[in-house]
Each structure stands twice: as C-alpha cells, then as structure tokens.
Amino acid sequence: MSSTEPSQWAEKASIYLETLDLPRYTRPRLTRYLISILAFLSLIVFYTSHQPSLLISEPEFPSISIYAANNTNHLPHIPPKIWQIYLDYTPYAIMPYTSYIQSFITHSPSHTYTLLDAHGALSIISKLSTSKTHAHILPLFYAMSRRVLRADFLRYLLLAIEGGVYSDMDTEMLRPLHDWVPDEYKSRTKLIVGLEADQSPPVGGTTYEVQFCQWTLAGAAGHPALWGMVERILNEVQKRPFESPMKDVEFSDEEVLDITGPAGWTEVVYEYLSKAAGEEIGWRNLTGMRSPRLFGDILVLPIDAFASGVPHSGASGPGMGEAFVKHQFQGSWRGGDH
Ligand SMILES: *[C@@H]1O[C@H](CO)[C@@H](O)[C@H](O)[C@H]1NC(C)=O
Ligand SMILES: *[C@@H]1O[C@H](CO)[C@@H](O)[C@H](O)[C@H]1NC(C)=O
C-alpha cells in the first residue's frame, strides 16, 4: 500500500488534468464522470463480496410450542389449537354459526383456530399416507359413505394427530380452555371429556346412564383413548363387505351413534378410565358428580360443563352453573344425504 494520502491523489489528479489542456468547462464534468464510475464499480465489488452474508439461514426453534411455554393461560399438555369441521363448507352455509365461531376466537388469545372443510380434512388424513402403520386409514375413510360418520371419525383422528380442542359448529364457548381444568389438575390433564346425560334409566336417544358427549372434546396429541376410538371405528368399518374403497358402506342412524357417536365414545372412555383407575369404572362411579374428577390423565367434567340447559340429568339452565361450552343442539344430520 502506498502511503500517499487521498488528498495528495486529488492534487495529483488535478495537476494531471491541468496538463491535458482540456477546455475548462469539461474538467469538472470529467471528474464527476470518473467519480461516478468509481462509485459504481466499488458498489458492485461491495455487493458481490458481501452477498453471502446477506442470506438469512433458517434458525433452529425449540420443539415445544412457543405459545404454551410459561403461559398461564394455556394448559401444559393440551396444545392451543381449536378445531371445527364443516365438510360442506361454503361462506353462506356457515353464516348461522358466525357468532359461535367468534365465541371460540374471542375466548382464546394465542390459540390457532381452524375450520376444516373437506379438503382440509383430507390433508390431515393424508399426513398418514406415508405411514407404515396408519396408511390404511385413507381408503377406510372413503368407505364411510355418510358424512356424519366421516365428521365424527375426523374429530377423534384430528385430536389424535394434532391435539387441541374440537367442538361442533353449533356450540358456543363460554369459558376459555384453561378454565375447564382446576389448577390442581392442570399439570396432569391430557384428555378432557364431558357428560351428555346422567340419568337412570338412560335419557331417550342415549344408550348409557352416564354417557359422554363428543360434540366437544379436548386432548393432547397421541392420547391413547383417542387412538383407541380411531381404531375401534376403523375395525367396524373394515368389517363391512366392500370390494373397492369407493363403494358405499351403508350405516343406519343407530349404527352411527354406536360406532362413531357418543355411545361408542362412551364405551372407549369407560375402558380408559378403568385402565387409569386400575378397577372397573362405570356409570355409578360418575353419576351425580358436581365437580371435575381426574382419572389418571383423563379429566371428567360434570353435566353442566358442556350440557347445561338439557331438560334432564340435573343440569342447570342454559349457560348456568359451571358451563364451559353451550350446545345449541342444531344438529340435523339424521337421514337425507348426511
Ligand atoms: C419458564 O418456566 C421454566 C420452568 O417452569 C423456567 O425454568 C423458566 O425460567 C421460565 N421462563 C420464564 C421466561 O419465565
Ligand atoms: C367405583 O364404584 C365402585 C362401586 O360401584 C367402588 O367400589 C369403587 O371404589 C369406585 N371407584 C372409584 C375410583 O370411584
């Protein structure tokens, strides 16, 4: 490197320009021209030599949910995700439900909200298509001819894969998810189930004295009771004779209730409650309960939690008592093409 100062260079350059005998007015112009070229060249050199450091590489994130960490408004095991399903979605079709949808969103800051249509549902199931153990679910799903069967099945599968809260379109959230679980159970709760009925003999339209509802469910991804229910449904569907996956398999309303509906779900829940308790748990253990009970990692909520306002089972008025979700009973799935 020369020790020559830039000012000396400028001096030399101007002396050189003097010797060139150019018309006076061209000298400043020529100087500006040279400076522009130099600036342009140095910019190119700067950008080409610095380019790699401008590229942003992908950062590594912790595997736990960023929303759930240290957030007292979230449950430690149940991810902050809300799911609803409307397989025949159109903007017009969901209009009657917009205030209910809003109730879930407004009570659930930093939760994701997803309304699944048929394509979205398929993309969830397709996650399993490369799995060695679960790829068979896709053709069996297609074999479920009735939409209600598919919608029922999807809620268990969805929570088994993703975790979070599932709730029917005709339900309204009254209290946020973290309020559903008493503080002393928060660190242990991985599945939340509520009652649909609690009466002996069973309420009309139900099968068991104490029957669990499946219009609202919450759970950690991978909970064995959710997979147990998925497996149970698949076994039933598989029993039906069908040659090709696209051929319809007929199920009656009663069968739907038994297989994918509340009766089937109730049997699975009792099975897992019994496993957790290490003894047979039946309806007599749960009847008349007024506060939540934890069996292993399964939290059972009393009738008012999801079924306030029903005219039986000792339930409080609509939205009264410890009501967390209000069911509007607008389900019109029976018969027809559903
Ligand atoms: C979050 O919780 C963990 C363990 O419960 C604790 O070690 C950590 O300091 C907490 N972080 C913040 C930001 O509070
Ligand atoms: C369930 O009920 C039976 C009697 O019906 C009783 O012996 C048992 O202790 C109860 N178990 C629990 C966990 O409440």
- Per-residue pLDDT of 137-157, as tens digits, reads 888 888 787 888 888 999 999
Quickly state the pLDDT bin for 337 (edges 50, 70, 90): very low
Quickly state the pLDDT bin for 52 (edges 50, 70, 90): low
Q: Is residue 286 part of a domain?
A: yes
- pLDDT of 259: 82
Q: Is there a single domain that holds both residue 165 and residue 274?
A: yes
Q: Is there a single domain that holds both residue 147 and residue 35?
A: no
Tell me the CA distances in angstroms from 74 to 65, 81, 111, 118, 181, one per residue in order. 11, 10, 9, 29, 10
Please give the tally of structural domains in the chain.
2
- Cα of 75 from ligand 2 centre, angstroms: 29
Ligand 2 atom index nearest CA of 281: 1
Supply the range of the domain harboring residue 41. Answer: 5-48
Asked whether the predicted pLDDT for residue 297 surpasses 90, the reply is: yes
Q: Is there a single domain that holds both residue 108 and residue 41?
A: no
Q: Is residue 188 part of a domain?
A: yes
Asked whether the predicted pLDDT for residue 327 surpasses 80, the reply is: yes
- pLDDT of 125: 87
Q: Is residue 53 part of a domain?
A: no
Characterize the bridge pairing of strands 298-301 and 191-198. parallel
Asked whether the predicted pLDDT for residue 262 surpasses 80, the reply is: yes
Mean per-residue pLDDT, 231-236? 89
Asked whether the predicted pLDDT for residue 214 surpasses 50, the reply is: yes
Q: Is there a single domain that holds both residue 23 and residue 116?
A: no
Quickly state the pLDDT bin for 59 (edges 50, 70, 90): confident
Beta bridge partners of 85: 116
Asked whether the predicted pLDDT for residue 290 surpasses 70, the reply is: yes
- pLDDT of 245: 54
Q: Is there a single domain that holds both residue 34 and residue 100?
A: no
Of the ligands numbered here, which is closest to the C-alpha atom of 62? 1
Q: Is there a single domain that holds both residue 79 and residue 217?
A: yes
Quickly state the pLDDT bin for 4 (edges 50, 70, 90): low
Q: Is there a single domain that holds both residue 312 and residue 165?
A: yes
Higher pLDDT, 63 or 43: 43
Quickly state the pLDDT bin for 184 (edges 50, 70, 90): very high
- pLDDT of 203: 92
Of the ligands numbered here, which is closest to the C-alpha atom of 64? 1
- pLDDT of 239: 78
Q: Is there a single domain that holds both residue 16 and residue 132?
A: no
Q: Which two tokens stand for residue 332?
A: 């019109």
- pLDDT of 209: 97
Mean per-residue pLDDT, 331-337? 42
Q: Please tell me if the CB atom of residue 10 comes closer than 6 angstroms to any atom of ligand 2.
A: no
- Cα of 285 from ligand 2 centre, angstroms: 6
- pLDDT of 254: 78
Q: Is residue 55 part of a domain?
A: no
Quickly state the pLDDT bin for 55 (edges 50, 70, 90): low
DSSP secondary structure string for all residues of 43-80:
HHHHHHHHHHHHSPPPPP--SS-TTTTT-TTS-SSS-S
Mean per-residue pLDDT, 238-262? 70
- pLDDT of 2: 47
Q: Please tell me if the CB atom of residue 277 comes closer than 6 angstroms to any atom of ligand 2.
A: yes
What does pTM read for this prediction? 0.78
CATH of the domain at 251: 3.90.550
- pLDDT of 151: 87
Q: Please tell me if the CB atom of residue 285 comes closer than 6 angstroms to any atom of ligand 2.
A: yes
Q: Please name the residue whose Cα sits nearest to atom 8 of ligand 2.
A: 285
Q: Is residue 176 part of a domain?
A: yes
- pLDDT of 325: 97
Q: Is there a single domain that holds both residue 168 and residue 231?
A: yes
Q: Please tell me if the CB atom of residue 287 comes closer than 6 angstroms to any atom of ligand 2.
A: no
Characterize the bridge pairing of strands 298-301 and 293-295. antiparallel
- pLDDT of 159: 97
Q: Please tell me if the CB atom of residue 175 comes closer than 6 angstroms to any atom of ligand 2.
A: no
Q: Is residue 337 part of a domain?
A: no
Q: Is there a single domain that holds both residue 102 and residue 200?
A: yes
Percent of the chain clearing pLDDT 90 (strictly above): 55
- pLDDT of 335: 35
Q: Is there a single domain that holds both residue 14 and residue 79?
A: no
For residues 65, 70, 76, 78, the Cα torsion angle rounded to the nearest 10 degrees is -40
For residues 150, 228, 206, 87, the Cα torsion angle rounded to the nearest 10 degrees is -20
Q: Please name the residue whose Cα sits nearest to atom 12 of ligand 2.
A: 285
Of the ligands numbered here, which is closest to the C-alpha atom of 70? 1
Q: Is residue 58 part of a domain?
A: no
- pLDDT of 331: 57
Asked whether the predicted pLDDT for residue 24 surpasses 70, the reply is: no
Q: Render pLDDT for 268-282 as a digit per residue (tens, 0 to 9).
A: 999 999 999 999 999
Q: Please tell me if the CB atom of residue 284 comes closer than 6 angstroms to any atom of ligand 2.
A: yes
- Which of 273, 279, 289 has most ligand 2 atoms within 8 Å of its beta carbon, as the pocket-test mutant? 279
Of the ligands numbered here, which is closest to the C-alpha atom of 187? 1
Q: Is there a single domain that holds both residue 13 and residue 80?
A: no
pLDDT averaged over every residue in the chain = 85
Q: Measured between alpha carbons, how far apart are the two ends of the chain, in Å?
A: 84
Q: Is residue 211 part of a domain?
A: yes
Percent of the chain clearing pLDDT 70 (strictly above): 81
